[in-house]
Amino acid sequence: DFSMRLRHIAHLPRLFPAPLAVDSVVYIPRKTNWIRHRFNTCNFSFILSGGGEYRRGDTVWPVEAPCVITQSPEHYVEYGPCGAWQWWEEFYVIYNKNKIPLLRRIGLLRPGVFAWRIKDSRPIRMQLTEIREAVRNGEERGGADRLDRLCELLVMDGILAETNPAPDRDEAAVLAICDHLHTHSNERHHNFNALPRQHGLSSSTSRRRSAQLIRPP
């Protein structure tokens, strides 16, 4: 069954090496604890039932299944069940951080998009059935190759199933500015007039859209 907590597959031989080889897959049927961590990997977490909260910098995102949240080395994150939910069900795919440039280049890791809701968890669960079989047969000939491609397809379909419309130009610019500030958090001085202009916004528009998009934790 799919009750395993963690399955490492990075070490398994590949007959047909895929550019996006998976390091590990994890299934947690009832996650109850909070994670407070800066990951050294790039992860896609599919929240299949339950809910809670996801925090990245000053951004607080309400988690309500079905949805996807991501983790990467650029950001310290905190997330877990809370409020009306005591637990959530989660499956996630772990990629080595050296895959991040490729994930960005092919559009699976999108600038400023760290979480999104999906229309229906049923297609995702159907794919997880295939992934479960691939995990079982991971050490057989071609098993790891199949798992790599199934996980890539899962992430792609998770994006295609997004319920939220793509951010408008102003929202995308604000998210890009936030990413820049978090990535360069060690710098002492930021020009908060020049940064919006670099992304095609006025300072007043940047402040207004930031207030709409970001609420304090």
Q: For 28-38, how does the pLDDT look when each residue is reduced to its tens digit (9 = 90+)?
A: 999 999 999 99
What pTM was estimated for this model as a whole? 0.74
Of all helices (H) and strands (E), which one includes residue 152? helix 143-160
Alpha carbons 146 and 75: distance in angstroms, whole number: 30
29 φ, ψ (degrees, to nearest 5): -70, -35
Three-state SS for 20? coil
Residue found under tokens 């997330």 = 79
Is residue 157 pLDDT above 90, yes or no? Answer: yes
- How far, in Å, CA of 198 to CA of 196, rounded? 5
Asked whether the bond before 66 is cis by omega within 30 degrees of 0, the reply is yes
Q: Residue 86 corresponds to which tokens in the numbers above?
A: 């005591």
Encode pLDDT of 85-129 as tens digits.
999 999 999 999 999 999 999 999 998 899 999 988 888 888 988
For residue 193, the tally of other CB atoms under 10 A from its CB is 10
Question: Is residue 187 classed as helix, strand or coil in its secondary structure?
Answer: coil
**pLDDT score for 139:** 79
Q: For residue 192, what pLDDT band results from cuts at 50, 70 and 90?
A: confident
C-alpha 17/C-alpha 103 separation (Å) is: 16
Secondary structure in 3-state letters for 51-99: EEEEEECCEEEEEECCEEEEECCCCEEEEEECCCCCCEEEEEEEEEHHH
- Tokens in use for 96? 């080595």
